Structure 1
Amino acid sequence: MMYALTNASVFDGNELLNNYAVIIDKERIAAVCPEQDVSPQIKQINLNGATLCPGFIDLQLNGCGGVMLNGDFSNTNLELMHRTNLKSGTTHFLPTLITTDDQEMEQAIAVSRSNQQNHGSGNLGLHLEGPYLSKIKKGIHSEQHIRQLNQQRLQFLLDNHDAIKKITLAPEHVTAHDVQALTEAGILVSLGHTNASYQQASDAIKAGASFATHLFNAMSSITGREPGVVGAVFDHQLYAGIIVDGHHVAAANIRLAKRLLEHKLYLVTDATAAAGANISHFDFVGREIQVQNGVCIGDDGTLGGSALTMIEAIENCVQTVGLSLTESLRMASLYPASALSIDDILGRIKPGYSANLSAFNKDFKLTLTVSDGKLTQF
């Protein structure tokens, strides 16, 4: 089916285009052209002046829509997460598994692989957040499941590199050889939940680590004599996800990180079951998390992920942090696509690119999402 999206301000990943239409043919973008050039034979869908942009890409999503990836490993849950994401403009995501035992890790890998192969949803591959982390910087993760990476489990990860897109680990608790082996297998290594020194982080980066997980949160920070992991991220210009929900990171720190990392800073939600769901509490790997005024909190006051959606993160970037709309949109689409080296197919509105788009009005309310050419209006 071919159709044209019209009467929108089109952000193509580079600039805003007015009086342009986007023509979709099956699962691809066929053309971006002046509206007057659209053939009358093509069905037109009027977006009523909304902003049309590339679909958002979330590289850290623990759950949403009332469910978590942990605890119920099923295609049903992954598809529910995908459908919930579409309501807030996210067309692709890395389902993120929180620290758990080996058996559940193996189940999650098998289910995610099956989901990718058979369902064709927005699942870009599994993100393992743990279990090879620092207990000092564990955050909400279960201390009883945090453990060392041994040779047997390293080989297991390498053997399943096709399904594991990314792994978050603490560099002080693995070897440079481990990081190098994971990287060479095609698994993206991200520094997170770590109390490493600047030197330990730098050694891991030299071995292949190229990402940082939820920048500033659960990692050693900058002091006068010790730059810590945050300093290493800035100094080595890693890709870094950041949670812009008004609770995890101060607006001034977000602006600072943006100036230092530029296009390598991208938005993540770190979303939990509370995102896109009206619930008061949920289970987070055996711990009850209360949802209070949109904040997810454990019984000891520790933040337990977020209730954030990507369109809300973009709105916060514009209205609270002070970033431009176009740069905020890049942080939600083009930059994460570039981080995964898939910006030749996602992250732009351009002929030949995959038809994954989102549209929202001046109040940052979603009006339409296109997922692999399939259109959903709200």
Structure 2
Amino acid sequence: MLPSFILKNGRIFDGRSFLSPGFSVVVKPPHILGITTHPPTHLPSIDLQGKVIAPGYIDLQVNGGGGKYASLDPSEKSFRQILNTHLAHGTTSLLLTIITSATDTRKNAIETIRKIMAKEQSLLMGGHLEGPFLNPSKKGAHHEPWLQPATPSLLKEITGEGREVIKAITVSPELFTSGNMDALMETGWILSAGHSNASYETAMSFFDHGGRMATHLYNTMSPISGREPGIITAIFEHPSARAGVIADGHHVHPAAIRLAHRVMGDRLFLISDATFLGQKDGEVYFGPTTFRMKNGICYNQEGKLAGSSISIAQAVQYCIKEVGLPEAETLRMASFTPAAVMGQTHRIGRIGKGVLANMVVLNDDWMPETVYYEGEEVEA
């Protein structure tokens, strides 16, 4: 068992707000023992010298990292490389995303996630299926021949494969009836709207029927117009809809992020949609498709954006320094809100008594200087 210790003299962001000065975090790995102005004197302490300490970041959409791609190489070695890459960047909990793939790839990926989750459920919370029930007209970088209609037999097959492992699934609402929506609702998975050309009315019905999330807000969605407000307006208006946004300077304009934040408030959160975190420029071979990386931006052969090359830490930095969002709101979008989406605020997404000691200490440039995972410092 790791020894207990104290983090003192830091600006503590507890997941929703900054605490007043004078508090220390007492850690008894793997949990936080408490936050107090009178920490025990017999424990070793680390002086943070005024640096910000925040909950470890949570990412509900990770496709890859460190040169490995979850939907291409669904092996345990590959998945652990992805996990460790994001952990080193301050993401202490994530959903590994399996995009529209060949059947065997999907099945193997789900079983690999199951195997890792049996050993640990803090870093890898589960899987996020992005497809195959997506509208071909909004396929983005997905391989169209692998997209499939939501037939009862395929729904039964996929929900059976993913029980206890899959935690979220992205679907196009316009492809679903109330009947096949019910088949997904029975799983308890988070139903997320994405890759969609849904009308405002169809999207509102989706959220009324139990949809709780939207996948990469603005991207692969029909635009807003005066006569056809579309899915984005439904996401903005529906009180149950939460949405992830890719804040990398390429996928979404800063003004659009500010607008979404102004309208949605604490229903908006950050995702990386990372596929190429740590990837060098050049050609990237992804199954049947060749992508091109240039200056950190990845495009498929049709010139469409294909995932990102950022971490949540970089999204936090971008939102504070370039978008101009308040510091506390940005940090909340990277921690407490995604934890709330997952129903996990009792164990992650905040700094408080009894939760896991997953934390990031940030430098003056809002990048992680030290990462703690279950109370242990992560090696850079």
Output the TM-score relative to the length of structure 2.
Answer: 0.95
- The corresponding residue for 1:371 is 373
Task: Name the CA shift for 1:148/1:338 in 2 (closer, same or farther; >3 Å).
Answer: same
Q: Give 1:43 deviation, angstroms.
A: 1.7
SS in 2 for 1:364: coil
Distance in 2, Cα, partners of 1:311 & 1:330: 12
Q: Give 1:298 deviation, angstroms.
A: 1.6
Does the CA contact (< 8 Å) of 1:28 and 1:353 recur in 2?
Answer: yes
Shifted more, 187-196 versus 147-156: the winner is 147-156
Letter aligned with residue 29 of structure 1: I
Q: Tell me which of 297, 310, 313 is aligned to 1:295.
A: 297
Letter aligned with residue 6 of structure 1: K
Q: CA RMSD in A?
A: 1.5
Q: Tell me which of 251, 255, 261 is aligned to 1:252.
A: 255
Distance in 2, Cα, partners of 1:285 & 1:228: 33
- The corresponding residue for 2:243 is 240
- The corresponding residue for 1:73 is 74
Q: Give 1:377 deviation, angstroms.
A: 5.3
1:87 partnered with 2:88: yes
Q: Give 1:349 deviation, angstroms.
A: 0.5
Q: Give 1:119 deviation, angstroms.
A: 3.8
Task: Name the CA shift for 1:302/1:77 in 2 (closer, same or farther; >3 Å).
Answer: same
Distance in 1, Cα, partners of 2:259 & 2:147: 32
Does the CA contact (< 8 Å) of 1:177 and 1:207 recur in 2?
Answer: no
Q: Give 1:280 deviation, angstroms.
A: 3.2
Letter aligned with residue 196 of structure 1: A
Q: Tell me which of 204, 207, 212 is aligned to 2:206.
A: 204
1:334 partnered with 2:351: no
SS in 2 for 1:118: coil
Deviation string 1:261-320 (CA, Å, 9 cap, x unpaired) is 111100000001x21344533233421222211111122211010011111101111111
SS in 2 for 1:94: strand
Distance in 1, Cα, partners of 2:226 & 2:17: 40
- The corresponding residue for 1:33 is 36
Distance in 2, Cα, partners of 1:120 & 1:344: 14
Distance in 2, Cα, partners of 1:189 & 1:16: 32
Q: Superposition pairs for residues 317-328 of structure 1, below 5 Å?
A: 317-328=319-330
Does the CA contact (< 8 Å) of 2:314 and 2:367 recur in 1?
Answer: no
Deviation string 1:235-282 (CA, Å, 9 cap, x unpaired) is 21311000011111111111111111111100000001x213445332
- The corresponding residue for 1:9 is 11
Distance in 2, Cα, partners of 1:154 & 1:211: 19
- The corresponding residue for 1:264 is 267
Letter aligned with residue 308 of structure 2: S
Does the CA contact (< 8 Å) of 1:98 and 1:131 recur in 2?
Answer: yes
Give identity over the alignment, percent: 36
Does the CA contact (< 8 Å) of 1:79 and 1:121 recur in 2?
Answer: no
Task: Name the CA shift for 1:285/1:47 in 2 (closer, same or farther; >3 Å).
Answer: farther
Task: Name the CA shift for 1:58/1:186 in 2 (closer, same or farther; >3 Å).
Answer: same
Letter aligned with residue 170 of structure 1: S
SS in 2 for 1:45: strand
Shifted more, 67-76 versus 157-166: the winner is 157-166
Q: Superposition pairs for residues 214-229 of structure 1, below 5 Å?
A: 214-229=216-231
Does the CA contact (< 8 Å) of 1:171 and 1:194 recur in 2?
Answer: yes
Distance in 2, Cα, partners of 1:92 & 1:45: 24
SS in 1 for 2:136: coil
Shifted more, 318-327 versus 278-287: the winner is 278-287
Does the CA contact (< 8 Å) of 1:64 and 1:276 recur in 2?
Answer: yes
- The corresponding residue for 1:130 is 131
Letter aligned with residue 77 of structure 1: S
Task: Name the CA shift for 1:74/1:377 in 2 (closer, same or farther; >3 Å).
Answer: closer
SS in 2 for 1:232: helix
Distance in 2, Cα, partners of 1:250 & 1:90: 24
Segments of 5+ residues of structure 2 without an aligned counterpart are none
Letter aligned with residue 15 of structure 1: S
Shifted more, 357-366 versus 87-96: the winner is 357-366
Q: Give 1:121 deviation, angstroms.
A: 5.0
Letter aligned with residue 16 of structure 1: F
Shifted more, 128-137 versus 226-235: the winner is 226-235
Distance in 1, Cα, partners of 2:46 & 2:81: 26
- How many residues align? The count is 375
- The corresponding residue for 2:164 is 162
SS in 2 for 1:30: strand
Deviation string 1:136-173 (CA, Å, 9 cap, x unpaired) is 10000001111112112211233232111010011122
Letter aligned with residue 24 of structure 2: A
Deviation string 1:2-22 (CA, Å, 9 cap, x unpaired) is 111223211112332333221
Segments of 5+ residues of structure 1 without an aligned counterpart are none
Does the CA contact (< 8 Å) of 1:197 and 1:228 recur in 2?
Answer: yes
Q: Give 1:24 deviation, angstroms.
A: 0.9
Q: Which consecutive segments of 4 or more residues in structure 1 shift more than 4 A?
A: none
Deviation string 1:198-257 (CA, Å, 9 cap, x unpaired) is 122222222211111000000112111111111111121311000011111111111111
